[in-house]
Structure 1
Amino acid sequence: MHHHTRLKLAAAGAVACIAFAAGCRSTPELVAPPQGAAISNPHQYDDEWFAAARLGRIDILKALLEAGYPIDSTTDAGYTALILSAYDDQPAALDFLMQAGANPCLGDKHGNTALMGALFKGELPIARSLMNTHCAIDQTNNAGETALSFAALFGRLTLLPQLVSRGANPDHTDAHGGTALQMAEAQGNRAAANALRKVGATR
């Protein structure tokens, strides 16, 4: 059961990697709309918007927002610009988007949030920034996994105390009834199991 859950997480991560890599292979020429112009069809600038988030092009993001581009638009996979900026280690773009009102709590089609993406990629400064948003610290993805689950399973163990101090439940059960500690033990991951126990996991 726990192995199945981990496989689902790994598969979701692999899909995310493929999707992001595919998006980065051919970067469109980033051209913002003329200054002062309003966008009649916002989605004609989808390529520019999401590429700007991945590349940290705040100038393009700002110009598109000023022209009326919807800040929480998503790709076909459900990625927002904020998720992409977190995943691709663009802290300045992430900060800009959050200050402009982007919703950091939105998940992709698998329910994975920007925080989960940052933990998966190991972008720890970005993860710390996202931990300080208004989002529920135990927000779950479609598999019932939380940010603490991601931190434990992907080896971001230094963040476990900070997550728990912000209210994360170390004994949270996922959609299959398993906990992060049970999964760590099933994997033989002693470091994760010990780290989880240190922050209060009991089952």
Structure 2
Amino acid sequence: MDDAMKDNARQQPSPAVLALAAKLFDLARHGDTETLAAYLDAGAPADLTNDKGDSLVMLAAYHGHAATVHTLLGHGADPNRVNDRGQSPLAGAIFKGSAEIVRILMEAGADPSYGTPSALETARMLGRTDLLPSLH
């Protein structure tokens, strides 16, 4: 096997790693905070992203799981990590209308002007003026 093939083989995750990643995404999506926290405590990356660039925080925020978002941020997840479409977790929380998750993300340093569209733009587009004060 030449060096290029060896490098490619090293870059391809094993089926077991892919299965674990899928499980972590499901835990975030479904808000299984306790189980996800155990994996994070064991060394799973808090900023793991899927094939669309959605982070664990993005999935938890979008699906309305405040405790999971808080736990991920406490384990070092980036509140400003955008997905492949340029969407931020904060804009996702605005889209879903979750004032609690907006607050948690803002306390963790989320930037309301970050992403495309930004959380500020999302709030204005959707008429979520009730959430605008939380973004300052």
Question: Does TM, scored on the shorter chain, surpass 0.5?
Answer: yes
TM-score (norm 2): 0.80
Residue 91 (str. 1) matches residue 66 (str. 2) = yes
For CA contacts below 8 A with separation 6 or more, give which structure has more relative contact order: 2
Q: 4+ residue runs of structure 1 moved beyond 3 angstroms?
A: 41-44
CA distance in 2, matches of 1:146, 1:67: 33
* 1:124-143 alignment, distance < 5 Å: 124-141=99-116
Runs (5+) with no aligned partner, structure 2: 1-15
Residues 73 and 108 in structure 2, CA contact (< 8 A), matched pair in contact too = no
Residue 160 (str. 1) matches residue 132 (str. 2) = yes
Code of the aligned partner of 2:81: L
Please provide the CA RMSD for this pair. Answer: 1.6
How far residue 133 of structure 1 moved from its aligned partner, in angstroms, is 2.5
Residues 79 and 107 in structure 1, CA contact (< 8 A), matched pair in contact too = yes
Matched length: 121
* 1:162-201 alignment, distance < 5 Å: 162-163=134-135, 166=136
* 1:25-174 alignment, distance < 5 Å: 42-141=17-116, 145-163=117-135, 166=136
Cα deviation, 1:66-120, whole Å, max 9, x if unaligned, reads 3322221111111111111100010111111111111111001111011000111
Structure number with greater Rg is: 1
Runs (5+) with no aligned partner, structure 1: 1-40, 167-203
Code of the aligned partner of 2:75: A
The 1:43–1:67 alpha-carbon spacing in structure 2 relative to 1, beyond 3 Å, is farther
TM-score (norm 1): 0.55
CA distance in 1, matches of 2:75, 2:21: 18
Residues 82 and 115 in structure 2, CA contact (< 8 A), matched pair in contact too = no
Code of the aligned partner of 1:44: A
1:33 match: none
Code of the aligned partner of 2:63: D
How far residue 44 of structure 1 moved from its aligned partner, in angstroms, is 3.2
Code of the aligned partner of 1:43: L
Residues 52 and 84 in structure 2, CA contact (< 8 A), matched pair in contact too = yes
CA distance in 2, matches of 1:75, 1:57: 18
Identity of aligned residues (%): 35
Code of the aligned partner of 2:36: L
Code of the aligned partner of 1:106: R
Code of the aligned partner of 2:62: Y
The 1:63–1:78 alpha-carbon spacing in structure 2 relative to 1, beyond 3 Å, is same
